[in-house]
């Protein structure tokens, strides 16, 4: 997401960095390319013009033009403006003082409201807040059944009353949550166009009936500038309090993320980054700005790894590394854990400076990891525990059983033995032991 914009902006800054002092003409030329890059990323024209004008006002100050590092100063200005454009600080969900807190999910048909309802409910459950899911989409075939299926998957109750009045269903759902003593109600409404007056009026009646603490607009990032237009229409009628942007992991130019807050005043609170119910992440404007400018996103990387490892697991891994008892079984377990984090290429790009250093078409083939897993699974317990027993005939058997070549088996063993030597050296040094305690576990 936004890779094309990141490439264009970094090309602009690279040209500036190669110069000493900057003239006003240098800044104007650079900002012209920034504006083009924003428009190509599907950012609305009004937002792009306002963004560039704000940067120009600050970048043409004497303290910038006379600075010893004017290019770095301009990069900082662009970073700060990007953060502001994306909403400033992280916007958290708001909850009522007296439960249940009501969250109303709205948006176009096909934007993924029902799925995001399940994702949000799961996220709140993990934080200790149990929710009642209310099926108020009475128009789309199978919408109620879909919500019920999601409820079963995450072990949360679903309130439904068939193809009845959505306003009454929403009101009755809130009353049911009070009866059950649940802290949150998430109401899944039917998709509608912002220009459909009758259906928008229905949403207004639901809002009046249940007094939601949050009205979350679910926007599909792949719709580009249209997502901003639709969000503005919903905001004018309902006063949306936040946005969930879906398909941020897809093949999209991502301009909606850079336009929607400035156009509506409603902050992006969550982003959908995959199909799994766990693939919903809080939105951090500063982190996305850093990634766009090639500065990495270490905080998100650390949070991802911490979500997979308990402190006890981390200590056990450290002990294995220090005692040099790390086996191929352990290696396989670590690799399977890494796969849960997502694409290895995306993870590498979160490291500062790496995204700039990687070739534009760089991609770690997922098939390589699958082949490695197949090779290890084709070994016996003794072979995984002690690879030194692997003679030629054993390696041929393993290659045949895993559908690989003997050279692939040899390469895996050689790489593993090299890693073992490095871990042994790290374990002997105080610096290494400290690094293993403090480093994110992969």
Q: How many residues does the chain have?
A: 442
Neighbouring residues of 362: CB distance < 8 A, sequence distance ≥ 6: 345
pLDDT grade for 122, boundaries at 50, 70 and 90: very high
In the sheet where 101-107 sits, what is the strand order?
Answer: 158-159, 131-136, 184-189, 101-107, 214-220, 242-246, 268-272, 280-282
Rounded to the nearest angstrom, the gap between the alpha carbon of residue 150 and the centroid of all alpha carbons in its chain is: 21
Greatest distance between any 2 Cα atoms in the chain = 75
Q: How far apart are CA 295 and CA 355, in angstroms?
A: 8
pLDDT computed for residue 348 by the predictor: 55
pLDDT grade for 109, boundaries at 50, 70 and 90: confident
pLDDT grade for 365, boundaries at 50, 70 and 90: low
Nearest Cα neighbor of 296 from 44, 79, 132, 86 is 79
Average model confidence (pLDDT) across the chain: 79
Average pLDDT over residues 392-418: 89
Q: Measured on CA atoms in the order 81, 87, 92, 95, is the torsion positive or negative?
A: positive
pLDDT computed for residue 30 by the predictor: 83
Average pLDDT over residues 115-144: 93
pLDDT computed for residue 217 by the predictor: 93
Domains along the chain with CATH numbers = 3-85 (1.20.120.140), 101-295 (3.40.50.300), 303-438 (1.10.260.30)
Rounded to the nearest angstrom, the gap between the alpha carbon of residue 328 and the centroid of all alpha carbons in its chain is: 31
Average pLDDT over residues 272-293: 83
Greater confidence, 391 or 1? 391
DSSP 38: H
Q: How far apart are CA 7 and CA 294, in angstroms?
A: 9
pLDDT grade for 441, boundaries at 50, 70 and 90: very low
**Which 3-state string (H, E, C) describes 192-222?**
CCCCCHHHHHHHHHHHHHHCCCEEEEEEEHH
pLDDT tens digits, residue range 40-76?
A: 877 888 888 888 898 888 877 756 656 556 667 777 8
Average pLDDT over residues 231-249: 87
Position 408 pLDDT exceeds 80: yes
Bridge partners of residue 280, in order along the sequence: 272
Bridge partners of residue 134, in order along the sequence: 159, 187
What separation in angstroms does the CA of 232 have from each of 118, 189, 225?
A: 25, 18, 11
Average pLDDT over residues 341-355: 56
Contact 63, 72 (CB under 8 A): no
pLDDT grade for 424, boundaries at 50, 70 and 90: low
Q: How far apart are CA 119 and CA 117, in angstroms?
A: 6
User: What is the residue-wise DSSP string for 374-441?
Assistant: HHHHTS-HHHHH-GGG--HHHHHHHHHHHT--HHHHHHHHHHHHHHHHHHHHHHHSHHHHHHHHHSPP
Beta strands 268-272 and 280-282, pairing class: antiparallel
Nearest Cα neighbor of 232 from 273, 196, 264 is 264
Contact 395, 376 (CB under 8 A): no
Q: Give the global pTM.
A: 0.67
Position 209 pLDDT exceeds 60: yes
């Amino acid at each position: 997401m936004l890779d094309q914009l990141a490439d264009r902006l970094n090309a602009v800054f690279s040209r500036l960095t190669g110069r000493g002092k900057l003239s006003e003409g240098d800044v104007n030329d650079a900002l012209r390319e920034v504006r083009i890059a924003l428009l190509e990323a599907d950012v609305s024209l009004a937002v792009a013009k306002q963004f560039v004008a704000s940067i120009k006002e600050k970048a043409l100050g004497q303290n910038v033009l006379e600075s010893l590092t004017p290019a770095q100063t301009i990069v900082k200005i662009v970073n700060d403006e990007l953060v502001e454009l994306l909403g400033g600080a992280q916007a958290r969900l708001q909850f009522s003082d007296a439960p249940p807190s009501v969250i109303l999910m709205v948006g176009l048909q096909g934007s993924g409201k029902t799925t995001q309802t399940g994702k949000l409910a799961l996220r709140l459950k993990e934080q200790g807040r149990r929710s009642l899911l209310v099926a108020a989409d009475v128009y789309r075939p199978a919408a109620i059944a879909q919500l019920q299926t999601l409820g079963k998957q995450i072990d949360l109750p679903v309130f439904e009353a068939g193809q009845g009045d959505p306003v009454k269903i929403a009101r009755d759902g809130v009353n049911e949550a009070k009866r059950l003593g649940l802290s949150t109600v998430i109401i899944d409404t039917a998709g509608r166009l912002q220009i459909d007056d009758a259906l928008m009026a229905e949403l207004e009646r639901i809002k009046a009936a249940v007094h939601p603490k949050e009205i979350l607009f679910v926007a599909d990032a792949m719709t580009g500038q249209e997502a901003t237009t639709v969000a503005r229409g919903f905001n004018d009628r309902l006063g949306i309090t936040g946005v969930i942007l879906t398909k941020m992991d897809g093949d999209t130019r991502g301009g909606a993320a850079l336009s929607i807050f400035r156009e509506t005043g409603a902050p992006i609170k969550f982003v959908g980054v995959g199909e799994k119910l766990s693939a919903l992440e809080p939105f951090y404007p500063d982190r996305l700005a850093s990634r766009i400018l090639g500065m990495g996103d270490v905080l998100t990387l650390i949070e991802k790894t911490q979500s997979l490892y308990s402190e006890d697991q981390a200590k056990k891994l450290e002990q294995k590394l220090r005692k040099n008892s790390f086996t191929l079984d352990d290696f396989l377990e670590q690799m399977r854990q890494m796969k849960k984090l997502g694409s290895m290429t995306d993870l590498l790009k979160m490291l500062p400076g790496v995204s700039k250093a990687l070739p534009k078409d760089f991609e770690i083939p997922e098939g390589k990891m699958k082949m490695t897993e197949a090779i290890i699974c084709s070994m016996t317990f003794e072979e995984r525990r002690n690879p030194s027993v692997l003679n030629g005939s054993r390696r041929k058997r393993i290659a045949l059983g895993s559908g690989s070549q003997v050279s692939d088996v040899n390469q895996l063993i050689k790489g593993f033995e090299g890693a073992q030597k490095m871990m042994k050296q790290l374990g002997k040094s105080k610096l290494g032991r400290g690094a293993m305690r403090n480093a994110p576990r992969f």
